[in-house]
Structure 1
Amino acid sequence: MTARLLSVDDEIQLIAAGTAAAPGSTASTCAPELAEGPWVFDLQSPTYGPGASMADPLPAEAPRQGVLPEEYTAASKSELDTRIRRAKETLGDSVVVLGHFYQRDEVVQYADFVGDSFQLANAAKTRPDARAIVFCGVHFMAETADILAQPSQAVILPNLAAGCSMADMADIDSVEEAWAQLASVYGSEPDAEGRVPIIPVTYMNSSADLKGFCGRNGGIVCTSSNAATVLEWAFERGQRVLFFPDQHLGRNTAKAMGVPVERMPLWNPRKPLGGSTADELTDARVILWNGFCSVHKRFTVAQIERARAAHPDVRVIVHPECPMPVVDAADGAGSTDYIVKAIAAAPAGSTFAIGTEINLVQRLANQYPQHTIFCLDDVICPCSTMYRIHPGYLAWVLESLVDGVVLNQISVPASVAEPARVALERMLAARP
């Protein structure tokens, strides 16, 4: 059974200090800079910051975070804790704090709701009287919350630099250009069954612009929980699907539905026709955008083999954003909510190797000490952008709300929000 682990933050600090880390830890991390406050990277050359996405190119137009006042960067953990709890108590029901599964424990402890991006957007809808929604997650999540929120509610992202490298891999200009090229191949006439040539499907992990694109073009949004149901919806209406931005979720889902891998060409937006021939595109069932999650790309078949060698009774569960060979080698694949529920339902004494973000894995290990739970990747490498949310930023935006000032508000223009809402409503209607 798992000995109680330190939080990811505390473990990284011990590794940086050269001190013995938590029981069972391998005491290594992918980036020593993770031990520094994220405000250090807000002021340096723009990158996603240390962590899993540190090598991904950051778009020039990506949101930047301004200077965090020194009173927050210099404050101790205990001082920030006092200030956050005091601000929350003062604000009461006028504010709701949402915390994504991948957030650090030091932030999640203040959340009124914890879940995945769509669960949290729906959770916010249960608090229509709250004047502010503080979303401790990443930019696309705050956008979705704003689309679904009441017009009177302000959605706040504590650190504007908390983006998503996967979401940034498909931008509206590139998708519009791809759509035009595909139209030149397919035309616009429906087949004998009334199905249009192609339906756009975007993963929840995408910008509001792309959700709006799907809403305008007969498409739909999916989550990792309902991707198969959404693809069924799309195949009923279209001869094929353009799936973006995550190639792995699209490939793994469609393959499980019986779509041959050879009928799922990868679209490279830097090449004519995405790098395929017109014949290959005509034969395609799912066209996969060349995007990926850098957290889930770290998991490998070799890691699964090592876990099985060390723990013959292990159950390996991975997120469907992992590459196809990893999903094929695992015992199960599913969303963060699927992973949480699988562990909660397991008999005492079970052993799990999990392929998803380290903050969630270590939190589950502490929540279920009757099991042995560990991350497939033995290197501590959290999501770069989730890690940009820090208690210092949370204290800053909450205390500003106490003073009547709204900071870091995320507002999706109506011209984008309205068609995006259409695509989200289609997703809501497509229940598994």
Structure 2
Amino acid sequence: MPAVNLNLLPRPEIDPSVDHEIQAIVSGALVGETCNTDLAAGPWNFDERPGYGPGSSMGDVIPTGAPRQGELPLEYREASEEELDARIRAAKETLGDRLVVLGHFYQREEVVRHADYVGDSFQLANAALEHPDAEAIVFCGVHFMAETADMLSGPEQSVILPNLAAGCSMADMADIDQVEECWEQLEEVYGDMDAQDADGLVPVIPVTYMNSSAAIKGFVGRHGGIVCTSSNARTVLEWAFERGRRVLFFPDQHLGRNTAKAMGVPLERMPMWNPRQPLGGSSEEALADARVILWHGFCSVHRRFSVDQISQARAEHPGVRVIVHPECPMEVVDAADEAGSTDYIRRAIEDAAEPTTFAIGTEVNLVQRLAAQNPQHEIFCLDPVVCPCSTMYRIHPGYLAWVLERLVAGEVVNRIEVAADVAEPARVALQRMLAAKPPAGRVEKSGVPA
């Protein structure tokens, strides 16, 4: 599915702003709960501190050397929402076709309203491809997404991340040194990783989720592997099983487990690889029998959802339709009615012919936006605690106004560039993903039978 052109969407009458809700909860104007009251503060208050910022990823340990954002000029920190909105619109009008602004589904509403396209990470990378004449691509997402856009865009185009501190804790759970070490240990178990057996299969095909660094995508490209998204994970695993005896899947264990389980792979043939333990914490026997080796990574947003939340939703809303993202734990996916990508969730709601009550297990900014855009339905987030993705939340209208006004002044700031020796093999893995298309008529729903 292509990214959505926001200009074609009706303006919602319901306020979809998570920021407004958090501000009201913290001030006492609204009864509710947020996971961290610091979410009401500007993200520039946390730019100089190591960490992912307040929110769902605040407990995750950020790697040493992770990018940090320099100080945002005072005029942007002190500007009102209305002033920033006007300045962003004026800068966009001045830049015209020289600029394309991309906004991820999980971005705060105050940023998404300025995006030319909104979608998941890969949809937005494709949207960038549709604008080869744009001089600047401003990616309102997180670091790995901007890296992918840089690798798929033209060399003369600048890809800009408004806040360099907007990383991804899941992507950081598999760094290149750990993955290289894992591969070396697997070679000791399986032998020559390029040698085909009697069926023409190599021992392992590496598969990385789109939510990974450019370095990891480059590793996969060099070793005959492929990239996947949450919307095509089943097709990619089928591709990999046609070429390898087993798959090394990283960094998200839950997407790998849910997808492979739906394809009939037994749980006992999906050992976990913990990079901090010899052989990942498994035995040689378990690895020899493995079909999918799962990396010990996860999404802090989707790990918040639980079976108890689903039970409560069903008790309070008889007939509720529960849809969760396949990054949720297996027991949550099993308890839900459906599991699918962010775009699958969006389309399921939009395609519902009759007024329906939906309980959604994914990032709250998307859930509230869908509720505002589809007032004929009752739509709510499974997690009653308002807790947005902490790293997505680092992108604030102040940063967007700053990078755009610097572009108007002829200066490119916060450019994301991937080194050629990494980008070349990473593009190979991305092109393999592009070529791996689901069979005609099949709509993939990760974690439930397709």
Residue in 1 that maps onto 2:67: 63
Deviation at 1:190, TM superposition (A): 1.8
Residue in 1 that maps onto 2:156: 152
Cα distance in 2 between the residues matched to 1:81 and 1:225: 33
Consecutive aligned runs of 4 or more in structure 1 exceeding 6 Å deviation: none
Candidates 108, 115, 127, aligned match of 2:112? 108
- Give the TM-score taking structure 2 as reference length: 0.94
Stretches of structure 2 lacking an aligned partner (at least 5 in a row): 1-11, 439-450
State the SS of the aligned residue for 1:198: strand
Cα distance in 1 between the residues matched to 2:17 and 2:136: 28
The answer to whether the 8 Å contact 2:16/2:369 transfers is no
The answer to whether the 8 Å contact 1:100/1:136 transfers is yes
Deviation at 1:287, TM superposition (A): 0.2
Cα distance in 2 between the residues matched to 1:351 and 1:147: 40
Count of residue correspondences: 425
Cα distance in 1 between the residues matched to 2:74 and 2:264: 56
Cα distance in 2 between the residues matched to 1:58 and 1:29: 22
- Give the TM-score taking structure 1 as reference length: 0.97
Cα distance in 2 between the residues matched to 1:295 and 1:143: 22
Candidates 16, 20, 23, aligned match of 1:13? 23
Residue in 1 that maps onto 2:372: 366
AA aligned opposite 2:261: K
AA aligned opposite 1:410: I
Residue in 2 that maps onto 1:379: 385
Deviation at 1:348, TM superposition (A): 3.0
The answer to whether the 8 Å contact 1:228/1:257 transfers is yes
Where do residues 192-211 of structure 1 align in structure 2 (5 Å cutoff)? Answer: 192-211=198-217
AA aligned opposite 1:35: A
Give identity over the alignment, percent.
Answer: 74
Deviations 1:374-432 (A, max 9, x none): 00000000000000000000000000000000000000010000000000000000001
Deviation at 1:86, TM superposition (A): 0.5
Residue in 1 that maps onto 2:46: 41
Higher mean Cα deviation, 75-84 or 317-326?
75-84
Residue in 2 that maps onto 1:214: 220
AA aligned opposite 2:88: I
Deviations 1:335-375 (A, max 9, x none): 00000000000023111000000000000000000000000
Deviation at 1:4, TM superposition (A): 3.0
Deviation at 1:3, TM superposition (A): 9.2
Where do residues 13-412 of structure 1 align in structure 2 (5 Å cutoff)? Answer: 13-20=23-30, 27-43=32-48, 45-188=49-192, 189-412=195-418
Deviation at 1:5, TM superposition (A): 4.4
Deviation at 1:84, TM superposition (A): 0.4
Cα distance in 1 between the residues matched to 2:359 and 2:111: 25
AA aligned opposite 1:63: P
The answer to whether the 8 Å contact 1:5/1:365 transfers is no
The answer to whether the 8 Å contact 2:16/2:371 transfers is no
Residue in 1 that maps onto 2:14: 4
Instruction: Provide the alpha-carbon RMSD of the alignment.
Output: 1.0
The answer to whether the 8 Å contact 2:301/2:388 transfers is yes
Deviation at 1:6, TM superposition (A): 4.7
The answer to whether the 8 Å contact 1:400/1:406 transfers is yes
Deviation at 1:7, TM superposition (A): 1.1
The answer to whether the 8 Å contact 1:352/1:374 transfers is yes
Deviation at 1:151, TM superposition (A): 0.8
Deviation at 1:48, TM superposition (A): 0.3
Deviations 1:78-131 (A, max 9, x none): 111111010000000001000000000000000000000000000011110000
State the SS of the aligned residue for 2:89: helix
AA aligned opposite 2:239: W
Cα distance in 2 between the residues matched to 1:198 and 1:156: 36
Cα distance in 1 between the residues matched to 2:202 and 2:289: 15
Stretches of structure 1 lacking an aligned partner (at least 5 in a row): 21-25
AA aligned opposite 1:400: R
Cα distance in 2 between the residues matched to 1:374 and 1:3: 16
